[in-house]
Structure 1
Amino acid sequence: MKKVALALLVFLSVAACKTNPFTGQRTLNFYPNSQIFPMAFAQYDQFLGENKVVKETDQAKMIVRVGQRIASAAERWLDANGYPGYLKDYKWEYNLVDDPTVNAWCMPGGKIVFYTGIMPICNGETGVAVVMGHEVAHALADHGAQRMSAGMLQQIGAVAGNVAIQDPQKRNMFNQAYGLGSTVGVMLPFSRSHETEADRIGLQIMAIAGYNPDEAAELWKRMKAQNSQAPPEFLSTHPSNDTRISNLTQWAPLAKEEARKFGVTSFK
């Protein structure tokens, strides 16, 4: 049984890879769009039906406007870099939900929600573009499917360990050590790497859409001022605010250079 689990682990790791067009790197992904997108779309519709969606306000219209510009910029980049049709299965949708939580998120396939609680942090359209670029980047890079794939591998590793270890006391010790080690040592860094990747891709896309990438670091300065009780970075799914501010400041000029390739020389 242990050998079967390990063989399955190796097979999945080798066979289920996909290239990230923005980084050129191979990524772990067991779930094709045809499988994961319908599930995500159904969950999104259910969420909207259970929450108060804000319609026809200036903020709600801005969310849609910015989302459409960002998605269009992403498609321009993909077409220009040899990935025509990459977005054919995406069904972009952008909604503002009445909720004080300071957050926004994106489901696989381009289903995006902004909470009203994040709007003061955005502080206008360019700030919305920072967050929107980040969320669109998660969808473009298949981060949702990758997290599900990593979770599957984590579960396979746990099953293999429990099958191999016969002694109950040692099995309990393994489960405790494996749970903590695989989470802090693998899953959390994996999640942080996705957030960092989405920051960088999002910065590039927002610049191509005509929004000033310098605003990204400013938004995270506001986020830092609003949330001073963040956990240590190594225990978090996200990089620290200071790390993000430093990265975004460093990457903003590079994003502007990329935007110039598409004729964008001035920014909102």
Structure 2
Amino acid sequence: MNIKSIVLFIIATCFLTACQTSSTGRTQIMLYSKQELDAMGEQSFAEMKKSQPQSTHKPTIEFVQCVADAITKNVPKSAHSGEWEVVVFDSPQVNAFAMPGGKIGVYTGILHVTEDQHQLAAIMGHEVAHVIEQHSNERLSSNQLTSIGLAAADAYMTADNTENKELWMTAFGVGAQYGLLMPYSRSHESEADIVGQNLMAQSGFDPEAAISLWQNMAKLGGAAPMEFMSTHPSNQTRISDLRSHLPKAMTFYQPHQGASCTKPKVIPKSKQKQ
């Protein structure tokens, strides 16, 4: 069996043994176990807590925890069955994240963009949706398969004495970046928007707030790359998709189940540099 046949066999085996389907019907490739991903998430979160300052403002911490408690109680047990650890990081970054293993991080910078509990629930629902849909596993798996493919191409062209090998390898690398990895990430973001909007509605938060959240994000301005060159959909694409999905999300809306999480009138601005 030659090099090309061996590599094709390996890739085919990966696809046949690791294919799954997301809740939205999208085909997924999973090469890692849940236990492996949980361990990675726990380790990464522990390192972040050591290296990044945490907020000590009690009203802010209580507000974030209140929203997180309402959201996470509706997360499928298959995604995480234990308690969720929530940390507010003292940073001007306009960001939040969730990790496998039941970890949520919220930067104080995002709290100056989210106007109320509903908008914070929108961003938190989005981040937790990444965990529910196992996007970390997909991302790691696609990177690994891309590496295998590039190594295979290199070995095959070396054995075949292909002319302009370096030029071809560069082309393959660029093609993988913009043709596979970036669109793959955009599909994750779009899926997390929709799944997160459903989750926040199910948790008692107004799903229309997801639209106003991204309108606020768009107002932040700044030069952004074309959507084709970005790992994220444009703000306008997200707003349009969330607005289209709103009638469906409203069917999950349970306002009587929502927690009463009051945003502090004043949230201290971080002294950290962005």
Same fold (TM over 0.5): yes
Query: Which amino acid is the alignment partner of residue 181 of structure 2?
Result: M
Secondary structure in structure 1 of the residue aligned to 2:252: helix
Which residue does 1:19 correspond to in 2? 21
Query: Which amino acid is the alignment partner of residue 223 of structure 1?
Result: M
> In the alignment, is the contact (CA less than 8 A) between 2:74 and 2:202 conserved in 1?
yes
Which residue does 1:237 correspond to in 2? 231
Task: Give, in angstroms, the shift of residue 55 of structure 1.
Answer: 3.7
Q: 1:190 aligns with which of 159, 166, 184?
A: 184
Report the more deviating stretch, 64-73 or 137-146.
64-73
1:211 aligns with 2:205: yes
> In the alignment, is the contact (CA less than 8 A) between 2:80 and 2:102 conserved in 1?
no
> In the alignment, is the contact (CA less than 8 A) between 1:33 and 1:89 conserved in 2?
no
- Matching of residues 25-64 of structure 1 within 5 Å: 25-55=26-56, 57-64=58-65
1:105 aligns with 2:135: no
Query: Which amino acid is the alignment partner of residue 70 of structure 2?
Result: R
Secondary structure in structure 2 of the residue aligned to 1:122: coil
Which residue does 1:156 correspond to in 2? 148
Q: Return the structure number with greater helix share.
A: 1
> In the alignment, is the contact (CA less than 8 A) between 1:17 and 1:29 conserved in 2?
yes
Calculate the TM-score normalised by the size of structure 2: 0.87
Secondary structure in structure 1 of the residue aligned to 2:75: helix
Q: Deviations over 1:184-206 (max 9, x none)?
A: 11111100000000000000010
Q: How many aligned positions are there?
A: 257
State how far apart, in whole Å, the 1-side matches of 2:237 and 2:248 are.
Answer: 17
> In the alignment, is the contact (CA less than 8 A) between 2:68 and 2:124 conserved in 1?
yes
RMSD: 2.2
- Superposed structure 1 runs of 4+ greater than 3 Å apart: 87-91, 262-265
Q: Deviations over 1:111-154 (max 9, x none)?
A: 11111111111122111101000001001000001100000111
State how far apart, in whole Å, the 2-side matches of 1:136 and 1:47 are.
Answer: 18
State how far apart, in whole Å, the 2-side matches of 1:6 and 1:91 are.
Answer: 42
Q: 1:96 aligns with which of 88, 94, 100?
A: 88
Which structure 2 residue ranges, 5 or more long, are not aligned?
262-274
Calculate the TM-score normalised by the size of structure 1: 0.89
State how far apart, in whole Å, the 2-side matches of 1:207 and 1:144 are.
Answer: 24
Structure ranking higher on relative contact order (CA contacts 8 Å, 6+ apart): 2
Query: Which amino acid is the alignment partner of residue 124 of structure 2?
Result: M
State how far apart, in whole Å, the 1-side matches of 2:208 and 2:202 are.
Answer: 13
State how far apart, in whole Å, the 2-side matches of 1:227 and 1:113 are.
Answer: 24
Residues 264 and 98 of structure 1: CA distance in aligned 2, closer, same or farther (over 3 Å) = closer
Which residue does 2:271 correspond to in 1? none
State how far apart, in whole Å, the 1-side matches of 2:194 and 2:149 are.
Answer: 31
Query: Which amino acid is the alignment partner of residue 50 of structure 1?
Result: S
Which residue does 2:194 correspond to in 1? 200
Secondary structure in structure 1 of the residue aligned to 2:28: strand
> In the alignment, is the contact (CA less than 8 A) between 1:233 and 1:239 conserved in 2?
yes
Query: Which amino acid is the alignment partner of residue 154 of structure 1?
Result: T
Task: Give, in angstroms, the shift of residue 103 of structure 1.
Answer: 1.2
